[in-house]
Amino acid sequence: MNIKKSSVPPGEGRVFPGAGPHGVAVFHKDDGTFTALSADCPHKHCDVVWNTNDKTWDCPCHASRFKPDGRLMQGPAVDPLRKLTVQDVGEEIDVKE
């Protein structure tokens, strides 16, 4: 899926609808690069949301929290968010499984 770079401000994250049942969580790093993750929380499969105040991905179902790069900060999840491949294609990024 292609995502316009301008749709995610630097230092912020946003969840986009995915091709499957779960969204794609995109974080725009301060260095201008992007991280893309499956928004599917590995605990009970709710989609995470971006917490602007804490700069974390938070699961609204059971309160698991993840760093912008998907690493687990707080359970009940025990695994990180799944990383996706990001390719820079000019004004957009191409995100793939």
Domain extent listing, the chain: 2-96
CA distances from 3 to 64, 77, 82 (A): 26, 28, 18
pLDDT of residue 52: 97
Give the span between the Cα atoms of 14 and 52, in whole angstroms. Answer: 10
**Both tokens assigned to 24:** 């794609």
pLDDT of residue 37: 97
Question: Pick from 39, 23, 28: which is nearest to 92 by CA?
Answer: 28
CATH classification number, 2-96, choose in 3.40.50.300, 2.102.10.10, 3.40.50.2000, 3.40.50.720: 2.102.10.10
Q: Any bridge partners for residue 66, and if so which?
A: 57, 72
Question: Pick from 38, 73, 82: which is nearest to 55 by CA?
Answer: 73
pLDDT of residue 18: 79
Give the range among 12-16, 18-22, 34-38, 72-76 with minimum mean pLDDT: 18-22
Neighbour count for residue 84 (Cβ, 10 Å) = 18
pLDDT of residue 19: 66
Mean pLDDT (the chain, rounded): 95
Residues with Cβ within 8 Å of 20's Cβ and at least 6 positions away in sequence, in order, are none
pLDDT tens digits along 33-51: 999 999 999 999 999 999 9
